[in-house]
């Protein structure tokens, strides 16, 4: 039987070594970072345990946890708070998505030194709130006008920020103009002139086809964001409008790889043109409004998702809510609403349960206790796995 370190290394073996090293470094910070970077372990273990109902099938983001909700500007230029990571998106049991989220609540709050009874109450609140929204059969969404509590404050602050502020934050003066800021944290130089030119030419051509203004790339870099996806190819671009009033656009282009859930449900999956097509299709059907410029593309025979770059800071950091249980409860109720709404919005599509089936599932509520118990027990497993991982990491198993 493989060790935790071997399972992790095997899963990440096809990624870029240097940036995968940054992933390993991030995962060593605490059990919650470790949990974020090891969705594959979670689903392998959940499949082996076989303790949760495999129905109803629904579209899932695949990696639902406390840090995978955030704000973004939609293609209508309004600000929304929603699920925002669909790399692992696929057709899977609703119970699996809920178990992933409930476990993240136990792990995340335990990392913040919140007691087990409080963590259990928060996880139960999420599941009950999800069930209530799902049982009504009507999808909802969150924007500044409909949000409440800390999410409302968060969205109002984000809505006030201008594009020029983000441009100013991510750029520096270069050769009489501006270029990307390579801070070696969020963005690294590509250090390959031929690849940089090829990327720029590709994005230039893509922008001509999909945008009514003519933009061109003036700088590009290798982008770092998230935890689970670190090590896959991901680029950031700064584009400038050629004619008219000077305007800049930031783009994110991220390689899409197979979902770590797909191998557990191979017969249920539709046939996609590419992994990026899967990510974009599921994201468009689960979110109320998709991010600006969201598209699947093929570059160098590899599948990528392009979208307007969204600031990584536009997520609610649960660590700032320490001991603020009323605020935590408000946020979790919002997250539950969004999860249920995304499943209702995408219901009845390519094999997923229809709205009536989801409503009947929600009203049963017999699934809540098994999910809660699995999540509680698996949170203990995450802590044990993390300790094994940290020992291997500190011993140099994953290299420098």
pLDDT tens-digit readout, 334-359: 999 999 999 999 999 999 999 999 99
On whether both 332 and 255 belong to a single domain, the answer is: no
On whether both 42 and 68 belong to a single domain, the answer is: yes
On whether both 156 and 9 belong to a single domain, the answer is: yes
313 lies in some domain: no
**Pair 34, 393: CB distance under 8 Å:** no
On whether both 183 and 297 belong to a single domain, the answer is: yes
On whether both 269 and 214 belong to a single domain, the answer is: yes
On whether both 14 and 156 belong to a single domain, the answer is: yes
400 lies in some domain: no
57 lies in some domain: yes
Compute CA distances 277 → 270, 274, 280, whole Å.
Answer: 11, 5, 5
36 lies in some domain: yes
**Residue-range definition of the domain harbouring residue 72:** 4-160+318-394
370 lies in some domain: yes
Last residue of a domain, one of 274, 308, 342: 308
pLDDT of residue 336: 97
On whether both 234 and 105 belong to a single domain, the answer is: no
100 lies in some domain: yes
Report the DSSP beta bridge partners of residue 249: 239
Collapsed DSSP state (helix, strand, coil) of residue 312: coil
User: Judging by beta carbons within 10 Å of its beta carbon (0-12, 13-18, 19+), is residue 112 exposed, middle or buried?
Assistant: middle
Residues lower than pLDDT 50 in the chain: none
Integer Cα distance of 115 and 127 in angstroms: 19
On whether both 70 and 176 belong to a single domain, the answer is: no
**Pair 146, 288: CB distance under 8 Å:** no
- From the CB of residue 350, how many other CB atoms can be counted at a distance below 10 Å? 14
79 lies in some domain: yes
On whether both 77 and 64 belong to a single domain, the answer is: yes
pLDDT of residue 313: 56
Last residue of a domain, one of 249, 274, 308: 308
On whether both 27 and 88 belong to a single domain, the answer is: yes
Name the domain count of the chain.
2
On whether both 32 and 111 belong to a single domain, the answer is: yes
135 lies in some domain: yes
Helix 39-49 / helix 4-11 crossing angle, nearest 10 deg:
120
Last residue of a domain, one of 308, 333, 359: 308
On whether both 285 and 353 belong to a single domain, the answer is: no
Return phi, psi of residue 66, to 5°.
-60, -30
Looking at the whole model, is its pTM more than 0.85? yes
């Amino acid at each position: 039987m493989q060790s935790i370190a071997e399972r992790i290394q095997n899963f990440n073996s096809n990624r870029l070594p240097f940036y995968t090293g940054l992933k390993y470094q991030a995962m060593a910070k605490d059990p919650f970072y470790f949990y974020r970077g090891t969705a594959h372990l979670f689903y392998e273990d959940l499949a082996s345990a076989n303790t949760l109902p495999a129905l109803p099938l629904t579209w899932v983001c695949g990696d639902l946890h406390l840090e995978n909700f955030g704000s973004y500007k939609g293609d209508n230029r309004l600000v929304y708070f929603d699920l925002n990571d669909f790399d692992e998106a696929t057709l899977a049991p609703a119970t699996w998505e809920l178990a992933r989220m409930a476990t993240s609540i136990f792990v995340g709050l335990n990392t913040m030194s919140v007691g087990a009874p409080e963590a259990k109450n928060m996880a139960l609140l999420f599941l009950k709130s999800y069930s209530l929204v799902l049982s009504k059969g009507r999808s909802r969404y969150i924007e500044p006008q409909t949000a409440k509590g800390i999410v409302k404050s968060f969205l109002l602050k984000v809505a006030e920020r201008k594009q020029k502020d983000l441009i100013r934050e991510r750029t520096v003066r270069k050769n009489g103009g501006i270029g990307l800021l390579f801070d070696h944290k969020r963005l690294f130089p590509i250090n390959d002139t031929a690849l940089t030119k090829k990327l720029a030419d590709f994005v230039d051509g893509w922008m001509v086809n999909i945008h009514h203004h003519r933009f061109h790339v003036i700088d590009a870099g290798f982008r770092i964001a998230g935890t689970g996806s670190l090590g896959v190819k991901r680029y950031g671009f700064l584009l400038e409008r050629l004619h008219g009033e000077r305007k800049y656009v930031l783009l994110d282009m991220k390689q899409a790889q197979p979902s770590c859930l797909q191998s557990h449900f191979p017969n249920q999956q539709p046939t996609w043109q590419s992994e990026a097509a899967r990510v974009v299709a599921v994201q468009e059907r689960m979110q109320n409004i998709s991010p600006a410029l969201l598209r699947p593309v093929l570059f160098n025979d590899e599948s990528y998702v392009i979208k307007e770059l969204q600031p990584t800071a536009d997520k609610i950091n649960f660590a700032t809510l320490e001991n603020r249980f009323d605020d935590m409860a408000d946020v979790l109720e919002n997250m539950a609403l969004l999860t249920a709404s995304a499943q209702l919005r995408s219901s009845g599509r390519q094999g997923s349960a229809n709205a009536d089936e989801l409503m009947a599932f929600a009203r049963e509520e017999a699934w809540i206790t098994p999910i809660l118990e699995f999540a509680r027990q698996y949170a203990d497993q995450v802590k044990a796995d993390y300790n094994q991982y940290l020992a291997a990491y500190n011993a140099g198993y994953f290299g420098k």
